[in-house]
A and B are shown apart, each in its own frame.
Chain A
């Protein structure tokens, strides 16, 4: 009905390979973008910005980075949080050493450092696979967090060992630090996330994406048809770590405002891995759905009892919240083991052929 594709004829290969072969998809995306760019910023309160919109976007971006490595190239990684940390600390050092630097440029450039570190820790992937590789990335996780704690230069020898985001200006408007308004920060995050998402969609659809998928599905076969595994794996590590590093810089500079080393410890890595898995490995949309479920839903559930006027103590709400979110995760994984993105794909397919079942 809504998704009737009848009458949408493709007359060229280009049209058939377009980003949105079905017109309704493009329309739906336009609606979502309109919401994200215009309607949410107009409607949202400070609370919604700080606890829903900004964190969901940043977590989605981090999961997107991980998804490139794990979902597209098949290399399991448990070091995401540490690579985020590299991005955050690199950005911190850049803006404190070069205060004249444009903050957005600094954020985008900080990903380069984490890409470098990511490639270095990706080298073992040439020899080891699967769970063994996960252990190698775990080593990155422990080593880097230890480094953030011990290397005083990284946090400018601050007594508390934490990094604090200074007030950063861009064209006369504060974009980071305590003086920055949430709306501005939201737009910066949204612009960067939109840009990187677009980039990733095209990368995964292109030549590079196909080599990654071939590596993931069967690396020996990929090698036999002439794919250079080293290049394929290391580019996956580089692109993934770049995106993750930018997400880390956004995480600290556009949202948290301060960070201590143990923020980038393994619980954060797991959280991002769960977002990617529940959203759907090997999909772009899934990262957003996963982040909404894991990051956004608990916040909404926390405000529900008060909004509905149910008198219940906040500790109990927290306990209930953990139970509800946990069972929802199990529920979604049972009805669709391939994640929320696959669930949406099935719904969409059904809508296209509706009302006929076949």
Chain B
């Protein structure tokens, strides 16, 4: 029992000291995962994010004259560790980047109380787009429902969907189930048959049962909502069962270069929707190389830096940096508060000109946010694997915003009711 008290005293001391150790600058923690089963897909993203912030610190001395204290807290994609990281960082953080739908769902209800914006670019809960209800959460530039809508639109362009059969291969997890309400609604409206095929977390690497079902069902298309080890598992299984790769499409998290390099040429024709695209000639890449890589401050490597995920990491940090810059301009002070950052993220305006100024032309579609629209619905490209890398296979496709926003509002309302009392943004007139 003495050990109990001793450890507990040490623990409380540690906790108290941990929260008092303040660093200079704006503290922007990232709940990263470089360990665990999802590390392979996490590392390039985390590297991209860190490199962009390091580049800003080295090139411009931070943002608006304040250094960005970009810090990582390791979660290993575990929700429990994620909450630990959230509690650890929230005292001085201006933003939370939860990096998993599970952690986002956990942190989301606390955002109204702690008043720290959650930045979840391209993941999290789709209804977060309704900024009036989810005042503190942002999932720029596209939500999962947008992604599903873009995929359906692209398929519709390839031939009428009515009477077709679409298999929806997804991770049996909040993340994988996200697009289901939208897809179900569309299946009814457009007259195609939707076959949801869940992949349990334990079956990620061995999907023979799921692909047997796909062979039996003979779907016209397979839409995949996979992450981590599931992507490589599904793609190798598709190649093995000789499923026509050009009829397989994935969400943006299923478009990782390393997953397709395993199958190489055999994966030719596989497509993935994306709101980011690597542009090796972009000025921002040269700046990262000069200020971060050549200075030896990057954990990345040449091959990884050309991939889709690394450049997505850069875009994610650019969104955060832009939010900080907008907030600084609006408030006129450099040391902004979390509430100021929320204003900044609500007033993002990524025009073509602004993207050119940032040196990111072609890396992300232009989009803007408002107090009622926390997503921006930028639209996305369909990328296609050509055997060695991803190339653009379509122009920018815009999501079917009308149907989505209706569904978003309904689901957001449902969430607010289930979590009453839930304050909504009454001042937002849009």
**Closest Cβ–Cβ distance, residue A34 to chain B (whole Å):** 11
Mark out the residues of chain B between 153 and 193 whose CB falls within 8 Å of any chain A CB in the assembled complex: 172-174, 177-178, 180-181
Q: Is the CB–CB distance between A40 and B8 below 8 Å?
A: yes
A159-B411, A289-B3 given; A319·B19 CB < 8 A:
no
**Which of B104-112, B309-317, B330-338, B381-389 lies on the face that meets chain A?**
B104-112
A257-B109, A315-B35, A318-B76 given; A297·B14 CB < 8 A:
no
**B12 at interface, CB cutoff 8 A:** yes
- In the complex, A164→B201 CA distance in Å? 21
**B280 at interface, CB cutoff 8 A:** no
A179-B421, A309-B21, A344-B1 given; A160·B11 CB < 8 A:
no
**Contacting residue for A28 out of B1, B7, B32, B125, CB 8 A:** B1
Q: Is the CB–CB distance between A292 and B177 below 8 Å?
A: no
**Which of B83-91, B250-258, B371-379 lies on the face that meets chain A?**
B83-91
**B113 at interface, CB cutoff 8 A:** yes
A314-B73, A315-B32, A319-B35 given; A50·B4 CB < 8 A:
no
A31: nearest residue on chain B (CB-CB)?
B5
**Closest Cβ–Cβ distance, residue B129 to chain A (whole Å):** 15
**B205 at interface, CB cutoff 8 A:** no
**A21 at interface, CB cutoff 8 A:** no
**A323 at interface, CB cutoff 8 A:** no
Contacts of B4 in A (CB 8 A): 32, 288-289, 292
Contacts of B91 in A (CB 8 A): 46-47
B7: nearest residue on chain A (CB-CB)?
A292
A297-B7, A306-B21 given; A164·B420 CB < 8 A:
no
Contacts of A102 in B (CB 8 A): none
**Contacting residue for B87 out of A29, A46, A162, A306, CB 8 A:** A46
Mark out the residues of chain B between 1 and 27 whose CB falls within 8 Å of any chain A CB in the assembled complex: 1, 3-5, 7-8, 10-12, 14-19, 21
**Contacting residue for A51 out of B16, B84, B420, CB 8 A:** B84
Q: Is the CB–CB distance between B14 and A304 below 8 Å?
A: yes
**Contacting residue for A32 out of B1, B102, B106, CB 8 A:** B1
**Which of A123-131, A219-227, A258-266 lies on the face that meets chain B?**
A258-266
Contacts of B173 in A (CB 8 A): 161, 260, 262
**Contacting residue for A178 out of B102, B110, B202, CB 8 A:** B110
A50-B83, A51-B84 given; A265·B201 CB < 8 A:
yes
**A135 at interface, CB cutoff 8 A:** no
Mark out the residues of chain B between 62 and 104 whose CB falls within 8 Å of any chain A CB in the assembled complex: 71-74, 76, 79-80, 83-84, 87-88, 90-91, 101-102
Max chain A CB contacts within 10 Å: which of B8, B34, B73? B8
Q: Is the CB–CB distance between A40 and B35 below 8 Å?
A: no
Contacts of B88 in A (CB 8 A): 47, 51, 302-303
Q: Is the CB–CB distance between B7 and A178 below 8 Å?
A: no
Contacts of B1 in A (CB 8 A): 28-29, 32, 285, 344
Q: Is the CB–CB distance between B79 and A48 below 8 Å?
A: no
- In the complex, A303→B74 CA distance in Å? 12
**A299 at interface, CB cutoff 8 A:** yes
Mark out the residues of chain A between 242 and 273 whose CB falls within 8 Å of any chain B CB in the assembled complex: 256-258, 260, 262-263, 265
**Closest Cβ–Cβ distance, residue A276 to chain B (whole Å):** 17
Contacts of B79 in A (CB 8 A): 256, 263
Contacts of A318 in B (CB 8 A): 34-35, 74, 76
**Contacting residue for A313 out of B15, B72, B106, B181, CB 8 A:** B72
**B301 at interface, CB cutoff 8 A:** no
**Closest Cβ–Cβ distance, residue A36 to chain B (whole Å):** 9
Q: Is the CB–CB distance between A307 and B74 below 8 Å?
A: no
**Closest Cβ–Cβ distance, residue A154 to chain B (whole Å):** 15
A50-B87, A314-B73 given; A166·B19 CB < 8 A:
no
A164-B105, A258-B105, A258-B106 given; A303·B15 CB < 8 A:
yes
With A164-B419, A260-B174, A307-B18 known, 17 other A-B pairs at CB within 8 A are: A40-B12, A44-B12, A45-B12, A50-B83, A50-B84, A159-B178, A161-B173, A161-B177, A164-B109, A177-B419, A256-B79, A256-B80, A257-B106, A258-B105, A289-B3, A296-B11, A303-B14
Report which A residues bind B (CB closer than 8 A).
28-29, 31-32, 35, 40, 43-48, 50-52, 149, 159-162, 164, 166-167, 177-179, 256-258, 260, 262-263, 265, 285, 288-289, 292, 296-297, 299-300, 302-304, 306-307, 309, 313-315, 317-319, 340, 344
A and B contact pairs by CB, cutoff 8 A, 16 listed: A45-B19, A47-B15, A47-B18, A159-B177, A159-B178, A160-B101, A160-B177, A162-B102, A162-B174, A256-B83, A260-B102, A265-B201, A292-B8, A300-B7, A307-B18, A314-B71
> Nearest 8 pairs between A and B by C-beta?
A178-B109, A315-B34, A160-B174, A318-B74, A314-B74, A303-B18, A48-B15, A307-B17
